[in-house]
Structure 1
Amino acid sequence: MDWLQVVVLSLVQGLTEFLPISSSAHLILVPVLTPWDDQGLAFDVALHIGSLAAVILYFRHELKRMTLSWLASCRGHQSDEDGQLAWWVLLATVPVGIAALIFKGPIETSMRSPLLIGVSLIGFGLVLGYADWRKKGERSEYQLSLKDALLIGGAQALALIPGTSRSGITITAALLLGMNREAAARFSFLMSIPVIVLAGGLEVFGLIREPEDVAWVALLLGTLLSGISAYLCIHYFLAFIKRIGMQPFVIYRVIFGLWLLWFFW
């Protein structure tokens, strides 16, 4: 891997992991528009570690409270709002885990069509636009019920369809359930932690089964750039949607989706 490839892939991963614009849709363009070879599993793991470190660092105070409260509830103590939120985040991960096990084969083969990605970008983008445009909710992430968490988790399973966007579909579901924009995004980002852990774990398992040469400098740089870009993305995204909302991302998705349909038709 050359250094430009390291920088481009790291920034694409770090930025698109949390924006509602689909990382898979953007990553598919890299081999199309460049002569670069596949970056390998080791580099994919490094990029996931960077994104994971960013979201944990950003929400470190909330995660500390949630973890302590969750552990207390496991010991039989009554769960407070932080412990309950931790349970909802964990339970919301169950649907996507089950769906990934069932549909892993088709997702990695027939469902990676650029045309399908284009349709997903447009279709789910318009749903996000509707959810953001309708009457704005006032509920925070601490006001969710078990049913709400499972519904958002079920929506997260749809993100296995390339072009959907994990953050986009979970924010859409949260908005439709009456959450405000910032709360919907925060819950989506918290939900990303177990998902990234699971996805990264599968890649690590694949790397153990089929070891490859490791370019440690490239891995460290990729992890650092992915983490920094992801952290800045989370910070500015939360500030942006509070003032402007989701519509610019909807417009971007539709334009990008139409371009993919035109380019690959």
Structure 2
Amino acid sequence: MTTLQIIVLAIIQGITEFLPISSSAHLILPAQILGWQDQGTAFDVAVHVGSLLAVLIYFRKEVGDILFAWLKSLSTKQQTQNSRLGWLIIFATVPGVVFGYLMTGFVEDYARSPLVIASTTIGFGLLLWWADAKATQVKTLDTLNWKVAMGVGFAQALAVIPGTSRSGATITAGLMLGLTRDAAARFSFLLSIPIILAAATYYSLKLATDEAEPAMDLMAMITGGLFAFVSAYACIHLFLKAINSIGMLPFVIYRLILGAALLAFVYL
């Protein structure tokens, strides 16, 4: 890849990982439409690590409090609000890990086409609009329960399908299950930490065992990881500041336009 391609793809990954518009769709499309070569597994690892560092650093206080409380609960057997949130994140991650592992081969072979991406982009965009407009948004992270957490977790499992959007699916489910916009977004971001870590681990193992994988370009990985980190951090900050005032409609409109453009690309 050229330096420009590396930077563009890294910024796309960083921004779309946390906005409800699908990172996988945006990373697949340049190869499909512009004829860019596939970025390769090593680059996937780099941008996932960059995104992971961004969410870890942004939520460092919350993550530290949750991790400390969760570890303490293992010995004391006493649950606090933070330790309970830690357990909810762990169990809500399981469906995504299991479904992602089982469906990876199918998705790689059959679900990465522009038609599939267009369909899921439009369909889940409309579902996001409905959830934001119609759902009762009253629950906060303090009142998060197992039913809501697992509902969001199963929604996250659907994000293995390109165009769905991990953050879009989890935020949509959170809104439908009564979370406020801010709570749905924050839980989605916290839930992204173990799932991105799992994805980075998977890609790393694939990189280590796949003899056909091209040699790693260290500078490309560093550049990609850095730009993914910066764009992801900025995206998280701006999204949380604006979400209560702008709602989900701008992202819904974007998804509809993107889906329509993809359908035009497929059929025209």
TM-score, with length taken from structure 2? 0.95
Maintained 8 Å contact 2:135/2:177: no
- Structure 1 counterpart SS, 2:205: helix
Identity of counterpart residues, as a percentage? 49
Greater displacement, 152-161 / 97-106: 97-106
Q: Which amino acid is 1:71 matched to?
A: L
Match of 2:226 in 1: 224
Deviates more, 1:189-198 or 1:98-107: 98-107
What residue is the counterpart of 1:59 in the other structure?
A: 59
Distance 1:107 1:40 in 2: 16
The reply on whether 1:29 has 2:55 as its aligned counterpart is: no
Match for residue 247 of structure 2 among 230, 245, 248? 245
Q: CA–CA distance in 1 between the matches of 2:205 and 2:199?
A: 10
Counterpart CA distance in 1 for 2:115 and 2:233 is 31
1:199 alignment partner in structure 2: 199
Residue 135 of structure 1 deviates from its aligned partner by: 4.7
Confirm whether residue 214 of structure 1 aligns to residue 220 of structure 2: no
SS at match of 1:57: helix
Shift of 1:104: 2.0
Give me the whole-angstrom Cα distance separating, in 1, the residues matched to 2:63 and 2:77.
18
1:41-79 Cα distance to aligned partner (Å, 9 max, x none) = 111100000000000000000000000100011113311
CA offset digits 1:130-188 (Å, max 9, x no partner): 11011541211221111211111111111111111000010001001111001100000
Instruction: Give the counterpart letter for 2:127 in structure 1.
Output: V
How many Å separate the matches in 2 of 1:135 and 1:8? 36
1:88-237 alignment, distance < 5 Å: 88-210=88-210, 212-237=214-239
- 2: CA distance, partners of 1:204 / 1:81: 34
8 Å Cα contact 2:135-2:175 kept in structure 1: no
Q: Deviations over 1:89-125 (max 9, x none)?
A: 1110111112123222211111112111111111111
Q: Which runs of 5+ in 2 are unaligned?
A: none
Shift of 1:213: 2.0
CA distance in 2, matches of 1:126, 1:27: 22
Q: What letter is aligned with 1:216?
A: L
Quote how far apart the aligned CAs of 1:219 are: 1.2
C-alpha separation between the residues in 2 aligned to 1:249 and 1:13? 16
Q: What is the CA-CA distance between 1:214 and the residue it aligns to? A: 2.3
Q: Which runs of 5+ in 1 are unaligned?
A: none
AA of the residue aligned to 1:231: Y
TM-score normalized by structure 1?
Answer: 0.97
Letter in 1 for 2:94: V
- Which residue does the alignment assign to 1:5? 5
C-alpha offsets along residues 208-245 of structure 1, whole Å, 9 cap, x if unaligned? Answer: 11264222222111111100000000000111111110
How far did residue 32 of structure 1 move?
2.9
1:8 shift after superposition: 0.6
Alignment partners' CA distance in 2, 1:71 and 1:235: 28
Distance 1:222 1:92 in 2: 29
Q: Distance in 2 between matches of 1:34 and 1:23?
A: 17
Cα distance in 1 between the residues matched to 2:127 and 2:33: 29
Instruction: Give distance in 2, aligned partners of 1:200 and 1:126.
Output: 30
Secondary structure (helix, strand or coil) at the match of 2:76 reads coil
RMSD: 1.2
**Segment drifting more, 201-210 vs 215-224:** 215-224
Equivalent position SS for 1:112: coil
Q: CA deviation at 1:40?
A: 1.7
Q: How far apart in 1 are the matches of 2:107 and 2:34?
A: 24
| 2:111 counterpart SS class | helix
Q: How many residues align?
A: 265
